[in-house]
DNA sequence: ATAGGGTTAG
């Protein structure tokens, strides 16, 4: 039977057609490529107005290069550009990040006497900021005797977009303190959006709240753009609830509003709410969805690991003809990787016509999380081969891939050359990968030395990797050092107490095990309960450790018991290293049997056709015993079983795991 | 005929 594909809502038009040219030139129906030809054929070459229209239309429709060409043709004819000519030409320069042309335009604007023209000045400030030349933007701003709000906003935006949101905010403060007597520079909704964007970059909730009050007082809360940015700023500051309140209170909502709300949910891991918001958007019928919407829904699908949902969105991507959109294509790759289907991801990757750093990186990261380090490195070499410059996330992905597969030499190599050969300074995340890689491979002291030598401040992820490695390689001394740091850095996480007490137990230090238990109790910490999810026929089933709530739990335990007999025949011996130490042996086995991933796998097998693949997702790491058991089950029942845990994927098949038992 | 804004992918 053919899968039912939801009926598409027409694709939202591209910016060019979304804002139809307000001025009906007779050539306005011609495509950009023909615009210049039409122009040359029908216009007097001396008509400055016509040249201005041509330059403006080309710049507006995104054909910046052609716009600049028109500008230079006009100059070659020795026509005198007027004050309308420059802003558009300069805008084309900023769209191309072409500082040299921008500087030339700047020079000519001075020659033709537009030094104090605010339209020209604001375009120039914007151009210099977009080209990363904040100093030039600031100098120009300082020399303007009579500034208006557009000029102020241009510079505020420059700061925000060059990652100086704090400077953007203080410039806004300066603007406010200038007094209200000047109408030309009083705050408008555009300025408000820029300032709120600064807030969202800072993730400063207090600031957002304060500005929210200002927004309401000035009546900007009726502006869609302001509402959208406010919503986003609250979310980035951690208040999903306030985001929703802003969204609910908006008088108008456009596609960006809905996309923003869906994104907030998707990024907070609230996939269900994301899909519900989307369904409300479609039901409302007033707003069309676009590439951004689908991209965000793919993120939500990836987050909850729902291949079913992801495929559905992918179908919609195809229907809407968005496959050649780089962002959407990259989201598709990410979705398939995180839903366990690397091969599908690779297929989507191969058909992408335009790939950028992020697309390449998504594929590398995807292979890495599936333990396919060789494939990850192959893609990385290909990427270098075609001349795409890796960024810092690419290197995180490469190092993580090496770490998942234990490729110590490759990892060391790329860590050592990333700075000198690729000008990517190692950050905390790179050090974390290296500590993980070295630690798990048994080079504990090299890992510890690396931490001591590094110039950036350490965090709990880094020490957590070292502590986990200390357990594998039974190093009590380093374990205590790491744990001490972890108790300070991440005091509310109970996992480190649990891990350290396991290490003590492995060493037979029972008094210390008891001490850990007391410590945990005193600080009011409880073990994070493990749970697993499995999706069957569009329904998600949740299993907790030792689940006795699930309606079918008795059947599941019975089935696991049946399997247990076959397991023992296959040579299985329970691995007790992950169970509490303060219970007797029999209880330990019961405890092990109730691990949520086992329950989910069993339930999956019981409720699917023979031979069907089983996919399970777990909130914590898979324990050693479950790993062994699921491996054997995959052989006994002849099923492919994919388990996604908090760090990576395990593909079990024919009694083997893709990780080669290295994790 | 001219200037400044908000949502997306690793």
Collect contacts of A316-323 with beta carbons under 8 A, ≥24 apart.
A316/A5, A316/A6, A316/A8, A319/A5, A319/A8, A320/A8, A320/A11, A320/A291, A320/A294, A321/A11, A322/A11, A322/A291, A322/A294, A323/A351, A323/A352
Cβ within 7 Å of strand B: which of A 345-374? 356-359, 361-362, 365-366
Cβ contacts of A328 within 8 Å, gap of 6 or more = A291, A294, A295, A298, A317, A322
The span from the CA of A421 to the CA of A401, in Å, is 20
Cβ within 7 Å of strand B: which of A 219-238? 223-229, 232
Residue with token string 């333990």:
A371
What does the block give as tokens for A192? Answer: 């408000």
Chain B bases near protein Cβ (<7 Å): 1-10
Q: What per-residue confidence (pLDDT) applies to A167?
A: 97
- Alpha-carbon dihedral sign for residues A618, A271, A608, A334: negative
Cβ contacts of A256 within 8 Å, gap of 6 or more = A224, A225, A228, A292
Q: What per-residue confidence (pLDDT) applies to A69?
A: 93
What does the block give as tokens for A58? Answer: 């080309």
- The angle formed by the CA atoms of residues A230, A221 and A158, to the nearest 5 degrees, is 50
Cβ within 7 Å of strand B: which of A 19-48? 23, 48
Q: What per-residue confidence (pLDDT) applies to A26?
A: 30
Output b/e per residue, A272-311; b: 16+ Cβ within 10 A. ebbbebbeebbeeeebbbbbbbbbbbbbbbbbbbbbebbb
- Alpha-carbon dihedral sign for residues A50, A51, A52, A55: positive
Question: pTM to 2 decimals?
Answer: 0.89
Q: Based on C-alpha coordinates, what's the Rg of chain A?
A: 30
Q: Which nucleotide is nearest to A393 (CA to C1')?
A: B10
Cβ within 7 Å of strand B: which of A 605-634? none
CB A189 within 7 Å, strand B: yes
Q: Which nucleotide is nearest to A229 (CA to C1')?
A: B6
Cβ within 7 Å of strand B: which of A 438-477? none
Q: What per-residue confidence (pLDDT) applies to A32?
A: 56
CB A62 within 7 Å, strand B: no
Cβ within 7 Å of strand B: which of A 89-148? 91, 118-119, 122-123, 126, 148
What does the block give as tokens for A75? Answer: 């100059």
User: In sequence order, what DSSP letters do the residues of A68-109 get, joined into one string?
Assistant: HHHHHHHHHTT----TTHHHHHHHHHHHHT-HHHHHHHHHHH
Q: What per-residue confidence (pLDDT) applies to A180?
A: 59
Low-confidence ranges of chain A (pLDDT < 50): 1-30
The span from the CA of A605 to the CA of A105, in Å, is 69
Output b/e per residue, A68-100; b: 16+ Cβ within 10 A. bebbebbbeeeeebeebbbbbbbbbbbbbebbe
The span from the CA of A561 to the CA of A549, in Å, is 19
Strand partners, A642: A615, A651
At A593-617, the pLDDT tens digits run 889 999 999 999 999 999 999 999 9
Task: Report whether A529 contacts A594 (CB < 8 A).
Answer: no
Q: What per-residue confidence (pLDDT) applies to A12?
A: 23
CB A397 within 7 Å, strand B: yes
The span from the CA of A638 to the CA of A655, in Å, is 9
What does the block give as tokens for A450? Answer: 């690396």
State the burial class of residue A646 (Cβ atoms within 10 Å of its Cβ: 0-12, 13-18, 19+): exposed
Q: What per-residue confidence (pLDDT) applies to A301?
A: 97
Longest dimension (CA), chain A: 96
Strand partners, A544: A531
CA atom of A221 to C1′ atom of B6, Å = 13
Task: Report whether A371 contacts A649 (CB < 8 A).
Answer: yes
The residue that minimises its CA distance to C1' of B3 is: A119
């Amino acid at each position: 039977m053919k899968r039912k594909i939801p009926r598409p809502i027409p694709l939202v038009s591209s910016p060019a057609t979304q804002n139809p040219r307000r001025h009906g030139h007779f050539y306005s129906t011609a495509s950009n490529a023909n615009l210049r030809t039409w122009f040359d054929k029908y216009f007097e070459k001396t008509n400055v107005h016509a040249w201005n229209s041509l330059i403006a239309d080309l710049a507006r429709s995104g054909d910046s290069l052609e716009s600049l060409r028109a500008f230079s043709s006009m100059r070659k004819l020795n026509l005198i550009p007027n004050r309308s000519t420059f802003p558009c030409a300069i805008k084309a320069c900023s769209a191309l990040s072409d500082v040299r042309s921008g500087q030339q335009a700047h020079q000519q604007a001075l020659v033709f006497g537009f030094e104090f023209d605010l339209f020209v000045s604001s375009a120039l400030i914007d151009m210099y900021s977009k080209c990363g030349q904040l100093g030039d933007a600031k100098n120009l701003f300082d020399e303007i005797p009579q500034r208006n709000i557009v000029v102020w906003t241009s510079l505020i935006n420059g700061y925000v977009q060059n990652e100086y949101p704090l400077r953007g905010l203080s410039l806004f403060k300066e603007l406010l303190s200038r007094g209200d007597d000047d109408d030309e520079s009083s705050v408008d909704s555009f300025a408000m959006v820029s300032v709120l964007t600064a807030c969202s970059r800072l993730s400063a909730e207090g600031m957002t709240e304060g500005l929210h009050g200002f927004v309401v007082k000035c009546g900007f809360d009726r502006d869609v753009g302001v509402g959208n940015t406010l919503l986003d700023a609250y979310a980035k500051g951690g208040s999903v609830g306030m985001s929703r309140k802003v969204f609910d209170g908006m008088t108008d909502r456009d596609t960006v509003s809905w996309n923003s709300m869906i994104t907030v949910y998707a990024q907070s891991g609230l996939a269900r709410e994301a899909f519900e918001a989307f369904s409300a958007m479609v039901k409302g019928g007033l707003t069309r969805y676009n590439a951004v919407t689908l991209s965000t829904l793919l993120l939500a699908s990836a987050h909850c690991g729902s291949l079913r949902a992801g495929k559905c969105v992918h179908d919609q991507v195809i229907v809407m003809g968005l496959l050649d959109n780089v962002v959407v294509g990259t989201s598709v790759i990410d979705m398939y990787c995180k839903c366990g289907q690397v091969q599908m991801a690779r297929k989507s990757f191969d058909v992408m016509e335009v790939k950028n750093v992020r697309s390449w990186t998504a594929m590398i990261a995807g292979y890495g999380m599936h333990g396919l380090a060789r494939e990850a490195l192959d893609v990385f070499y290909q990427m270098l081969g075609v001349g795409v410059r890796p960024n810092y996330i690419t290197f995180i992905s490469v190092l993580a891939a090496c770490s998942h597969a234990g490729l110590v030499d490759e990892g060391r190599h790329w860590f050592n050359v990333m700075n000198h050969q690729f000008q990517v300074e190692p950050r905390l995340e790179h050090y974390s990968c290296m500590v993980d890689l070295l630690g798990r491979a048994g080079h504990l002291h090299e890992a510890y030395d690396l931490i001591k030598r590094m110039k950036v401040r350490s965090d709990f992820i880094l020490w957590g990797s070292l502590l986990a490695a200390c357990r594998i390689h039974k190093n009590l001394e380093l374990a205590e050092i790491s744990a001490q740091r972890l108790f300070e850095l991440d005091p509310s996480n109970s996992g480190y107490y649990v891990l350290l007490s396991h290490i003590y137990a492995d060493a037979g230090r029972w008094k210390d095990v008891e001490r850990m238990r007391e410590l945990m109790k005193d600080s009011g910490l409880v073990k994070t309960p493990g749970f697993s999810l499995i999706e069957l026929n569009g329904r998600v089933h949740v299993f907790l450790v030792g689940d006795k709530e699930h309606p079918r739990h008795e059947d599941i335990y019975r089935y696991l018991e049946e399997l247990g007999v076959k397991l023992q025949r296959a040579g299985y011996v329970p691995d007790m290293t992950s169970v509490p130490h303060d219970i007797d042996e029999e209880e330990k086995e019961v405890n092990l049997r109730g691990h949520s991933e086992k329950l989910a796998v069993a339930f999956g097998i019981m409720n699917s056709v023979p031979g069907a693949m089983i996919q399970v997702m777990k909130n914590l790491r898979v324990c050693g015993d479950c790993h062994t058991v699921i491996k054997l089950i995959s052989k006994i029942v002849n099923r492919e079983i994919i388990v996604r845990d908090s760090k990576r994927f395990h593909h079990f098949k024919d009694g083997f795991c893709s990780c080669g038992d290295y994790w």
